[in-house]
Structure 1
C-alpha cells in the first residue's frame, strides 16, 4: 500500500528522532548517572522529550548540542523549581525547610543516536527501551537510596516520559493510509502492547521507590498542526487529537479510550501523578518544519509547568 509522503515523514520523525547520549559514560558528562553519595536525587526516565531535544539551538559540536538540550529541557527546568520548593531535609524545624538546593539530576533519557564512533545507530526510546536500558540503572539506585537508613540521600522525585515512539508509527501507518480498514486492529495491538510495558515500568518504579515517593508520568501533546504535516493535511491534527484523547472521528469511528487515557489510568493504578501536557503547547512552541515532534524551549517551559502543577498543585 502506498502511503502519502507526509505520513511517511511523520513515522520517520516520531520513531527515530535525531541524537542522544549512547552510553552511561557519555550521559555522565551531561548530568550524570553516578550521583554524589549522601545527597538527594531527582531521577528522570524517558525519550527525546525528557532528553530536552530542540530546547536549545543545535551547535556543530555534537556533545555540546546534547548538553545544551539537557540543560534547557523540561527536566532541567523542573529541577530548578524542585530545588527552590521541595522540602527534602529530614528535619522537624520549619526553619530548616529551605528547599532542596543540593538536589542532583540523574537523567537517563536519550534521543535516537546516529551511527558514530564505529557504533550502529540506535532508534528512539520506547517503553521496551526503558525496560532494557533505563530500569537496570534506575531500580538499583532507588533500592539503595530509598531503603537505607539515610533519608538525606533519597531519590525524592521520579519522572517518566515515554510511549510516543511505541504508537505513532504503527497507528499512523494503519489509519492514515489509502486503506484504513486495518486501523482498529492496529490501535488495539499498539495500545495493548504499550499498556503491558508501561504497567511494568511504573509497577517496578513504585516497588523500588517506595509507597510515598512522588512519581510523575507525562501525557503527550499534539504537535501535528504546527509542522508541515498539518500544513499539508489539515485533518492530521484532528486525527492526533482523536488518537490521543479518544472520541469520535468521521471516517474512523469511535475510540472509547485514547492513548493519554491509558497513561492516566495506569499511572493511577501505580500511585503515580500525571503531568497532563495535552492542549498545553501551541503555536510557537515547536521546532516545526520537517520536525513534527519536538518542542523548542518555550514548549519545554510549558511542560515543566505541567510537572510543577502535578507535583505541587
Structure 2
C-alpha cells in the first residue's frame, strides 16, 4: 500500500522457499504490502516501514497447520505494487520472471498438484495515490479503477487456470481514511465512495472468474458509519472509524502513524476473512 506521508519499503528481489525434501502443499500468496505483513517501524527509530512475519498469509497458514494441513507459504507479494505492476512487473524483481504474476504462475506450473490455496490482494495502490492531502482526485481515481477493472480479471483467470483445484481468493479493502471521520465527514464520504467502487470491481472480477471473495471490508465494518463505539481515548466514533483505529496504525501518533497498514491484530482479522472464504479447515484457538 502507498499513500500520502507513507514511506515505502524499498523494492527488493523476491525469493520463495525451495521445496527440496518438502512433500507438503503450498499456499501461493500474491499482492501488495499487506501480503508481506508490512507495518511501521517502532517508535524511537527512523520513520518508515518494515516487513514482518505477522501478515495475513503467515497467520492464515498457522491456522491451517493447526487444523492439520501440511502447508508452506510461497510468497510473491511486493510492497507498493499496483494491479498493473502485478501483471507486467516494474517494482520488485523475480528471478526468471518478468512480474509477480509470471513468477507465481511459473511456481504453480512446476508443482500444480501441490498448491492448496492461492490468495491475492491488489488494487488499493491504484487509487490510494489519488486521495492525498484530504483531497480526492477524480481523474486519478477513474484511471486507477479502470486499471483494476482491466488487470484483476486477467490475474484471477490465469491463477484459476493454473491451479484449478485450489481455492483462489481475493479480498475487498478497508478504507483507512475513515480514521479522519467524523472530523472530515465530506472527505470520508468521498473516500468511502472510492472504496465502495473498488470493492465492487474486486467482487465482480471474482464472480466472473470463479474466484472467491474474502470480505475484509465487511470485517472492518467499512460501511458502518451509523453505529458507534468508544475509543480508548474516550471519543465516540463510528464503528468503521473505531476498527480502523484498532486494527491499523492510522490513529497512532507520529512517527509511527498515521500509517494505513494493518497491525498484527488487523492482519489476523484479514487472515480469518480469507480462511472463511477459502472453505478450508482452520483453527484459530
Q: Same fold (TM over 0.5)?
A: yes
What is the Cα-based RMSD across aligned positions, in Å?
Answer: 3.0
* Matched position secondary structure for 1:278: helix
Q: Aligned pair 1:35/2:19, yes or no?
A: yes
CA change 1:20–1:43 in 2 (3 A) is farther
Q: TM-score, structure 1 length as denominator?
A: 0.68
Give the secondary-structure state (helix, strand or coil) at the position aligned to 2:111.
helix
Q: Are 1:203 and 2:157 counterparts?
A: yes
Structure 2 residue 177 is matched with structure 1 residue 224: yes
Query: Unaligned 5+ residue runs, structure 2?
Result: 90-98, 221-242, 281-285
Deviations 1:10-46 (A, max 9, x none): 8435xx652156013xx4xxxx343345331111000
For residues 64-117 of structure 1, the C-alpha deviation after alignment (integer angstroms, 9 at most, x for no partner) is: 952xx1x111111111112233xxxxxxxxxxxxx223x111111132xxxxxx
1:135 to 101, 120, 124: 101
1:144 aligns with 2:110: yes
| Cα drift, residue 233 of structure 1 | 2.3
8 Å CA contact 2:31–2:77 kept in 1: the answer is yes
Give 1:158 deviation, angstroms: 0.4
Q: Which residue of 2 aligns with 1:107?
A: 75
Determine the structure 2 residue equivalent to 1:239: 190
Contact 2:56/2:271 (<8 A) preserved: yes
Q: How many residues align?
A: 239
In 1, the alpha carbon distance for the partners of 2:11 and 2:18 equals 15
Q: CA deviation at 1:174?
A: 11
What is the correspondence of 1:1-313 to structure 2 with a 5 Å cutoff? 11-13=3-5, 17-19=7-9, 22-24=12-14, 27=15, 32-36=16-20, 38-54=23-39, 57=42, 65-66=50-51, 69=52, 71-85=53-67, 99-101=68-70, 103-111=71-79, 124-131=80-87, 132=89, 133-146=99-112, 151=113, 154-170=114-130, 172=131, 176=135, 183=138, 185-210=139-164, 212-226=165-179, 229-230=180-181, 233-245=184-196, 258-281=197-220, 282=243, 283-288=245-250, 289=252, 290-312=257-279
Inter-partner Cα distance in structure 1 for 2:69 and 2:173: 28
Shift of 1:189: 3.1
Normalization by structure 2: what TM-score?
0.74
Gaps of 5+ in 1: 1-9, 86-98, 112-123, 246-257
Structure 1 residues 136 and 58: CA distance shift in structure 2, 3 A: farther
**Cα distance between partner residues in 1 of 2:247 and 2:116:** 29
Task: Work out the CA distance in 2 between the residues paired with 1:143 and 1:58.
Answer: 43
Q: What is the Cα deviation at residue 176 of structure 1? A: 2.9
